[in-house]
Amino acid sequence: MRLLEYESKEILKEKGIPTPFGRVISAIEKAPPFPVPCVLKAQVPAGARQKAGGVVIALNNEEFQYKTAQMLSGTVRGYRVNKILVEERIDVLEEFYMGIIYDTVAKSPVAIFSPQGGIDIEKLAQERPESVHKRHFSVRHGLLEYEAREIISLAGVGGKRLVALSNILALLASIFLENDATVAEINPVAQTRKGTVMALDCRLEIDDDALYRHTDIQRKSRDPDRTEGGREKSSFEEKAAEIDGLDQRGVAGRLIEFDGNLGLIIGGGGASLTAFDAVKRYGGRPANYCEIGGNPSVLKTKELTKHILSKPGVEKIAVIMNVVSNTRVDLMARGVIKGILETGRRPSETVAVFRVPGAWEKEGFKILSRYGVEYCDRTVSIDEAARRAVEKLGGSHPNRK
């Protein structure tokens, strides 16, 4: 979960990292909280806000009024703007980059520093790798102050700035570890004309799997304004999430909507990706993506089946999973059949293909044959099952090699 800039800056301030003077507003106000010029920053959980019009300067009170009004009524990178961080304008002499992330190859936290701040670090690392300095550190001991100084001194920074910057980098590393962050980035950290070093922007992303030990942050994550990836869930997807919440048994409902005629009941994680690719490769048009797994209850499978069939334009459904060992084939079959019957359709005409081999398959296949549904055992591959499903819908397969 990505914190908003002002939330991240509150954490920095608590730790003693200087930030510009600022205040958050959520409604149009007549005058800024301090003398103009000031900076207006849209508080949305996304990067590159400046390019998207999410960071603007107000030179006088009139500008302040209409620019805040404009910002609060619009969106930035797909997010509605509900809050604006109004900050004093800082006279910047020089900008630096610092960040902490996990290196998934070294399996260790890594501190990154560059004397070229303010721009995208990954781009910089590609174009000018010599200006990006990295150092791994122990997750148990944290980034020691001398280690922070070594990185910054290797980057060619000395004097008072070295001391100030390395202090901030070491503090950022403790913020990263203490808050279970997966990204902690200050870009830019600036040397001002007044001689101080401060964080002008900040990005903190907190590990969703660790939110249970940060209850204050967990509360923020329930804020409805934060949608994943700037892509709002459709009502079709939300209903599927509700179905998944009907009970705690297994997963049946992580659904993403597409605009096609073939409903998909697919799982688990890797096999869903495989099956979806295969349907597309054979020229099929999926109505949805989803992931089934962990032996979901008959109720959940039934409701999900009904839900997918209720989508306008869905002609048939394909049920495809990898060879299952935990999920029971018979329970899947019962859920799917029940769901179809409750919509008043005939299972034999509605199921384009049922390919779920594995645990309790004999019992499952018995149920399916009772309703005249064609099923596949483990000798039929996921690809072949997808091909048959597309063929039943009369789809062409132009991409067939």
User: Among residue numbers 325 through 384, which ones bind other proteins (CB under 8 A)?
Assistant: 325-326, 357-359, 378-379, 381-384
Give the nearest distance from C-beta 170 to other proteins in angstroms.
Answer: 17
Q: Which C-beta is closer to other proteins: that of 25 or that of 256?
A: 256
Closest CA to 2 of 182, 210, 175, 256: 182
Give the nearest distance from C-beta 87 to other proteins in angstroms.
Answer: 27
The pairing of strands 79-80 and 75-76 is antiparallel
Q: Which C-beta is closer to other proteins: that of 128 or that of 213?
A: 213
Judged by CB under 8 A, the residue of 15, 80, 135, 281 near other proteins is 281
Residue 250 and residue 248: Cα distance in Å, rounded? 6
CA atoms within 13 A on the CB side of 111: 30
Give the nearest distance from C-beta 138 to other proteins in angstroms.
Answer: 6
Residue 114 belongs to what H/E stretch?
strand 108-114
Closest CA to 201 of 37, 35, 85, 360: 85
Give the nearest distance from C-beta 266 to other proteins in angstroms.
Answer: 11
Contact 12, 209 (CB under 8 A): no
CA atoms within 13 A on the CB side of 156: 7
User: Among residue numbers 258 through 277, which ones bind other proteins (CB under 8 A)?
Assistant: 267-274, 276-277
The answer to the question of residue 190 lying near other proteins (CB under 8 A) is: no
Q: Which C-beta is closer to other proteins: that of 324 or that of 367?
A: 324
| C-alpha distances in Å from residue 208, one per residue of 22, 104, 294, 295 | 28, 17, 20, 24
User: Among residue numbers 3 through 32, which ones bind other proteins (CB under 8 A)?
Assistant: none
Judged by CB under 8 A, the residue of 14, 16, 91, 104 near other proteins is 104
Count of CB atoms situated within 10 Å of the CB of 51: 10
DSSP letters spanning 118-136 = SS-HHHHHHH-GGG-EEEE
Give the nearest distance from C-beta 273 to other proteins in angstroms.
Answer: 4
Q: Which C-beta is closer to other proteins: that of 271 or that of 337?
A: 271
Give the nearest distance from C-beta 105 to other proteins in angstroms.
Answer: 5
Residue linked to tokens 């006088």: 60
The answer to the question of residue 150 lying near other proteins (CB under 8 A) is: no
User: Among residue numbers 210 through 229, which ones bind other proteins (CB under 8 A)?
Assistant: 210, 212-213, 228-229
Q: Which C-beta is closer to other proteins: that of 20 or that of 268?
A: 268
Stretch that binds other proteins, among 5-13, 99-107, 184-192, 330-338 (CB under 8 A): 99-107
Judged by CB under 8 A, the residue of 88, 94, 207, 315 near other proteins is 207
The answer to the question of residue 64 lying near other proteins (CB under 8 A) is: no
Residue linked to tokens 């991409």: 399
Stretch that binds other proteins, among 37-45, 103-111, 149-157, 340-348 (CB under 8 A): 103-111
Stretch that binds other proteins, among 97-105, 165-173, 331-339, 341-349 (CB under 8 A): 97-105
63 burial level (CB within 10 Å; 0-12, 13-18, 19+): middle
Residue 145 and residue 333: Cα distance in Å, rounded? 60
The answer to the question of residue 172 lying near other proteins (CB under 8 A) is: no
Q: Cα–chain-centroid distance for residue 386?
A: 28
Residue 395 and residue 234: Cα distance in Å, rounded? 26
Give the nearest distance from C-beta 210 to other proteins in angstroms.
Answer: 4
| C-alpha distances in Å from residue 154, one per residue of 130, 277, 360 | 11, 47, 62
- In the complex, the residues that contact other proteins under the rule CB under 8 A are 102, 104-105, 107-109, 122, 138-140, 177, 180, 182, 207, 209-210, 212-213, 228-231, 254, 256, 267-274, 276-278, 280-281, 289, 291, 293, 321-326, 357-359, 378-379, 381-384, 401
